[in-house]
Homo-oligomer: A and B are copies of this chain.
């Protein structure tokens, strides 16, 4: 979709007129900014442009015009090692705006692929993949209610040369080159063509690009001022992308009853269990260290009905591992801090560095399980979550992270028996809440949700391991066995 130019009609032919427009129109922008803050709208503004088009100046002005207390400015910089060791979008998830705040990006997620493509470090295929990822990321932002504003400042070749000439006459500005050295002025046409390719392929209804002519600096600044004021206005007046726009495919209820198919009688004798446990203890310990040495990460997800034995399985698993290599993250209802961002945010933040393992005791699947059943997520929200989750896991596995997902299944009778036991053991009472009893009453709804989840998120790159857990010993060994197989496959031994 071609990108159109935005241009203010204000008269800014002199510096006095320019100042006057700012004085009179800035308050409108600021007021809109405060209103969006009060309404809790998260905002992402991405400012980009060709060399010497003045995008740093525009970013400075936006900070000055609005209230910096609610703005965080993020500049493209080479990755820190904490960033380099994680999937590409991790660093942008880090900057996910809290409800009511603005995340202001200079270049943002476009910069790295743009540079790499120009430098010949990104094949056409990879570029296409990246653009798909960017589109999905922006769709996810928009669907979550983020107001996404993307601006490109465009300069013609002649003015660019003149601006650069002027700059080079003021020697201290040459310092900026340290941050800008990836941006050169040669290959003007090639660069602009690539930028246009990026823009046209990511110019969507819910996240359109706006070009601003940067030839005249006054006009450029005021165009940005008026454009953003207008887009803020639109959102305040209710023009939020409709939720249905993101519900591309309404999935039907799962045809297969994955859970009913399970043979819950699977069990293991104590002697065999102990022997296997002993073997895995040694094998997994070693393999996890080898993963560390090869800088390969692992993400483990444990889901299942209450009392299905997730905690016990995790405890037996970590017995096989060095505590220095893993972290167990227990997921319960999101805190205010977490809920004021996208539901995937808190999970993204726990993605391990290269060589480490994160074990999620419950996970992002809460979106399509408890949040669906209890109505914490709207139908649109949980329905589109299947695809968002698949995409999330794809990004992990594309980066080389192993993703293993376990569903532990028990019968209703067994669950009741275990609840009874918990009531009797003092320290286990801490694990039994009123909520557990309530969830039990909704067992059918949870069953349907689990079946749909397995049907729609059982991908080739991150398949579900559905494990009969009626016999705890059997389930625990199955978990160790699956992990061991996955590691063997990766390590080739």
By Cβ-Cβ distance, the 8 closest A-B pairs, closest first, are: A69-B330, A68-B328, A337-B337, A75-B324, A31-B427, A34-B430, A60-B323, A59-B323
Cβ of A166 within 8 Å of any chain B Cβ, yes or no, is no
- A27 in complex: contacting residue of B59, B63, B75, B426, CB < 8 Å: B426
The residues in A between 420 and 476 inclusive whose CB is less than 8 angstroms from any CB of B are: 425-427, 430
Cβ of A361 within 8 Å of any chain B Cβ, yes or no, is yes
**Number of identical protomers:** 2
Q: List 23 A-B contacts (CB under 8 A).
A: A27-B426, A31-B426, A34-B427, A34-B430, A56-B322, A56-B323, A60-B322, A63-B318, A64-B315, A69-B311, A70-B330, A72-B327, A73-B323, A73-B324, A73-B327, A81-B81, A172-B289, A175-B290, A175-B293, A178-B293, A335-B337, A336-B336, A337-B337
Residues of chain B within 8 A (CB-CB) of A104 are 323
Cβ of A71 within 8 Å of any chain B Cβ, yes or no, is yes
Distance of A307 from chain B, by nearest CB (Å): 16
- A289 in complex: contacting residue of B34, B69, B176, CB < 8 Å: B176
Evaluate contact between A69 and B34: CB separation under 8 angstroms.
no
Residues of chain B within 8 A (CB-CB) of A59 are 323-324
Whole-angstrom CA separation of A292 from B175 in the bound complex: 10
Residues of chain B within 8 A (CB-CB) of A162 are none
Whole-angstrom CA separation of A100 from B56 in the bound complex: 45
Residues of chain B within 8 A (CB-CB) of A69 are 311, 328-330, 361
- Interface secondary structure of A, over-half rule: helix
Cβ of A254 within 8 Å of any chain B Cβ, yes or no, is no
| Interface range, A side | 35 or more
A37 (CB) vs chain B CBs: closest residue:
B430
Cβ of A106 within 8 Å of any chain B Cβ, yes or no, is yes
Cβ of A242 within 8 Å of any chain B Cβ, yes or no, is no
The residues in A between 49 and 71 inclusive whose CB is less than 8 angstroms from any CB of B are: 56, 59-60, 62-64, 67-71
Whole-angstrom CA separation of A20 from B425 in the bound complex: 18
Evaluate contact between A56 and B427: CB separation under 8 angstroms.
no
Cβ of A349 within 8 Å of any chain B Cβ, yes or no, is no
Evaluate contact between A289 and B175: CB separation under 8 angstroms.
yes
Evaluate contact between A315 and B68: CB separation under 8 angstroms.
yes
A324 (CB) vs chain B CBs: closest residue:
B75
